[in-house]
Amino acid sequence: MPWPGAAGTLFLMTDERTPVERTLAELGATSPEAIAARFAEVRARFDAETARLAPCDLAAWTAVRNAWLGRASGVITAIGDNWLKPATPEQKRVVGKSLNGLKAHVERTLEELRARAEAAGDAGPAAAGGSDLSLPGVRRALGTRHPIRQTREELERIFRSIGFSVVEGPEIETPYYNFEALNIPEHHPARDTMDTFYLSLPKGSPELLLRTHTSPMQIHTMERQQPPVRIVVPGRVYRRDNPDSTHSFAFHQIEGLAVDTDITFCEFKGTVEYFVREFLGPKTRTRLRPSYFPFTEPSAEVDASCFACDGRGCRICKHAGWIELFGAGMVDPAVYGFVNYDAKRLSGFAFGIGVERMAMMRYGISDIQLFYQNDVRFLRQFE
């Protein structure tokens, strides 16, 4: 059965052509009013499409321009081909005039939109919903170096200024480098005060421990190079201490070592005095007190005249006038034996400075734990 009313009608369901792809005759628009109405429809459609354009979506703008002004298949070309060319001479005047009007409207509108897109681009991506790079940024507070780091760098600077190099090494060591090569044999009482954290490893593995001082790196250095040696070794060290206001199971040291053919106690004393004056000020006096370390002979505790009372006696120096700074001494010849240095020809000195202790003196801090709590109210004081 034929489709009711299908034959010969202009409204075949299968005809998917748009109005501008058909002739005005096919559309039934032959009177000037009907033609004007068709043009009005097309113009309304164009206005609707351009109204949807985002202010600086250039890709969408280009698509609209091509759809309307494209030479081969744009709407304006289609109207020229399908509405104007087949029109009767009387219709042509009306169609031509309307087409010119429409084309001018399309061109003008698209040009305006392009100008708007450019202006939006100049105003920054914010106009398109992005971020505006011309706005002031979000300022993030700059961090500061931790007071221990600052003190360590100051200590490094002082020793660099007199020819020492800075060397760093691992925090995990073998008992040989941490103890034996430093003249601390297995059952030496000095191991008790420095006994430390051993790594739990599978049975049969060689023993490893957390270094109790940075001296192992000095042994490594002497194994690798012949004198002259002038190094300082900063870094974190570990000891089995219970925490209190002056103890921590992890703290920092800067150890020094100088070995050469003609280093005497004078070089040792001169270096120590230079360091103390650089760190605590030129008026500071230095005193060496006899002491004992397995790896130095003779050994000394280095004291400085109290920075708070200049030696007159106060609460800080417990009325002694002197404050203990660090331990030091002439390298024990036994140590040279472990690194194949010629003990008859060579001599040197060494020292071990606690970085926390120096920082506490420098800043008047009485509790070492403050360094490890990362309380910004404490840390901000060192900006």
CB 374, min distance to ligand 2NL, A: 27
Cβ–Cβ < 8 Å for 359, 323 = no
Query: Rounded to whole angstroms, what are the CA distances from 190 to 43, 185, 220, 227?
Result: 99, 9, 21, 28
Whichever of 24 and 335 has its CB closer to ligand 2NL, that residue is 335
Structure tokens, 305: 């005249």
Which amino acid does the sequence have at 350?
A
Which residue among 87, 237, 257, 263 contacts ligand 2NL (CB under 6 A)? 257
- Residues in contact with ligand 2NL, counted by CB under 6 A, come to a total of 17
Cβ–Cβ < 8 Å for 71, 55 = no
Whichever of 39 and 341 has its CB closer to ligand 2NL, that residue is 341
The mark string for 321-360 relative to ligand 2NL (x by CB under 6 A, - otherwise) is -----xxxx-x---x--------------xxx--------
Structure tokens, 361: 């003196």
CB 215, min distance to ligand 2NL, A: 4
Q: Give the residue at shortest CB distance from ligand 2NL.
A: 352
CB 166, min distance to ligand 2NL, A: 16
Burial 79-109 (b: 16+ CB within 10 A, else e): bbebbbeebeeebeebbeebbeebbeebeeb
CB 382, min distance to ligand 2NL, A: 25
Query: If we measure between CA atoms, which residue out of 286, 371, 370 comes closest to residue 326?
Result: 286
CB 216, min distance to ligand 2NL, A: 8
Residues 6+ apart with CB under 8 A from 182: 215, 216, 219, 294, 295, 335, 338
Whichever of 109 and 178 has its CB closer to ligand 2NL, that residue is 178
Which residue among 24, 42, 219, 359 contacts ligand 2NL (CB under 6 A)? 219
Whichever of 56 and 259 has its CB closer to ligand 2NL, that residue is 259
Which residue among 91, 196, 218, 271 contacts ligand 2NL (CB under 6 A)? 218
CB 199, min distance to ligand 2NL, A: 22
Whichever of 235 and 327 has its CB closer to ligand 2NL, that residue is 327
215 binds ligand 2NL (CB under 6 A): yes
Among positions 265-294, residues that touch ligand 2NL (CB under 6 A) are 293
CB 351, min distance to ligand 2NL, A: 5
Cβ–Cβ < 8 Å for 349, 331 = yes
CB 346, min distance to ligand 2NL, A: 12
CA angle 53, 102, 94 (to 5 degrees): 160
Give the binding site for ligand 2NL (CB under 6 A): 215, 218-219, 255, 257, 293, 295-296, 326-329, 331, 335, 350-352
